[in-house]
Amino acid sequence: MNLQVIEYKNERVLTTQQIAKAYETDPRRISENFNTNKERYVLGKHYYLLKGEELKAFKSEYGNSVFAENLNILYLWTESGAMRHAKSLNTDKAWAMFDHLVDHYFATKGKKMSTQNIPSRNEVMHKNATTRQARLLFQMSNVDTLSTEYKNILIAKAAEVLTGEYILPLTKIGN
Residue 95, in any domain of the structure: yes
Residues 90, 132: one domain? Answer: no
pLDDT of residue 113 exceeding 50, the answer is: no
137 with 58, same domain: the answer is no
Domain identity same for 96 and 128: no
Which has the higher per-residue pLDDT, 89 or 47? 47
Domain co-membership, 49 together with 91: yes
pLDDT at 109: 53
| Same domain flag for 17 and 86 | yes
Give the model's pLDDT for residue 42: 93
Q: Are residues 21 and 81 in the same domain?
A: yes
Average pLDDT value for residue range 146-162 = 87
The residue segments making up the domain with residue 22 are: 6-105
Model confidence pLDDT, tens digit, residues 85-94? 888 888 888 8
DSSP for 119-162 reads PPHHHHHHHHHHHHHHHHHHHHTT-TTS-HHHHHHHHHHHHHHH
